Amino acid sequence: MGRALELAVRGAGYVSPNPMVGCVILDCNGAFLAEGWHGVYGGPHAEIMALRNLDQGANLVGATVYVTLEPCAHYGKTPPCALALSQLPIKRVVIACQDPNPLVAGQGIKMLEDAGISCEIGLLEAEAQHINRAFFWRLEQKMPYITLKWAQTADGFVARNNFDSKWITGSLSRTWVHKLRSEVDAVAVGGGTAFYDNPELNVRNWHGHQPARLVWATRPDLPQSHHLFSGQQTTYLGWLGEGSAPTWANTKTLEVPDGLPIADRIAFQLKQLASTGIQHLLVEGGSKLLQDLIDHDLWNEAWVGTNPSMHFDVGIKAPELKILAIAQHKLGQDVWSYHQHQLGVVSVSD
């Protein structure tokens, strides 16, 4: 199952809004037969890929299939994986976690058991749930899973007052951030960050999927020459200012009813994003936007990178998290802390 989990995450950024799934098949004696993973949205699922990777003449009698998520039981873009497995002479299917999707939700397991195949559920369940946390969250809450990310100096600043401090963390951290971008559906910034930094919000120092972009803005004066309006990636405008949203080239405006408080406006727009299939959103700044999301419980996890040798003394203060880090890792001299926050149900009407 550990190997199946390793395979599953190869689909990060490519299979959304589907879950990441990996599969390993062993013969009746426990010897390796084949493996596979869900590689692209709309493509074959992990179980089917593993079956396709079997050597010709491989003996499946009494075999065991390890899969990180309950095999699907419905016809979607592909036929049901549980049906395909149920027609084979396998003996057992070991499943890390059940699929809460109402179209599956135990029906895949039932289909296998009705065919006389033994099912075991719960092996490395926590690990399997973690890799698909965004999938589960969007399915249950109808909201994107939100990861916050920022870099700060040792004395707690994200920028100088004149915004001339572009890089706080080092090159290893920048590469890792681009990897993180490749694994999410969209990357967001606030209007101030968009104005002063002119970010591209794309993947350059890594390989893989290019995310959509989102700018939450209250200012209508963002230059049309900025990278956000290049049209190279889908770009959403979450207008939070007064009056009608400005018309910007190559953007899709997220509509919101008049008169809502700022937190409800953001939550309403997040629900719109979720309805388009965006289930994992990375928010990279600025400090005010990040703090608003923190203060209104509109976040799930946060990565905070600190350069221990950089001090600004004065500047724009970093957001404040009151939840202690549960993990840390070093990239060069930078220290990244990981914080996790489980939200309740957001009560904003559809």
Q: Is 70 within 8 Å of 95 (Cβ atoms)? A: yes
At residue 52, the pLDDT reads: 97
Sequence ranges of the domains in the chain: 2-131, 139-340
| The pLDDT of residue 343 | 53
Mean pLDDT by 10 residues, the chain (350 residues): 98 95 98 97 96 96 98 83 96 95 85 96 96 94 96 95 82 97 97 93 94 94 93 94 88 88 93 95 96 95 97 94 94 97 46
Q: What is the pLDDT of residue 344?
A: 42
The pLDDT, as a whole number, for residue 102 is 76
Q: How far apart are CA 245 and CA 241, in angstroms?
A: 7
Predicted local distance difference test score (pLDDT) of residue 258: 79
pLDDT of res. 17: 93
pTM of the predicted structure, to 2 decimals: 0.93
- 2-131 CATH: 3.40.140.10
The pLDDT value given to residue 342: 66
pLDDT at 256: 87
Using only the alpha carbons of the chain, give its radius of gyration.
Answer: 22
Predicted local distance difference test score (pLDDT) of residue 345: 37
Catalytic residues: 47
Same fold, 2-131 and 139-340: no
Side chain identity at 85, as an amino acid letter? L
Domain 139-340 CATH class label: alpha beta
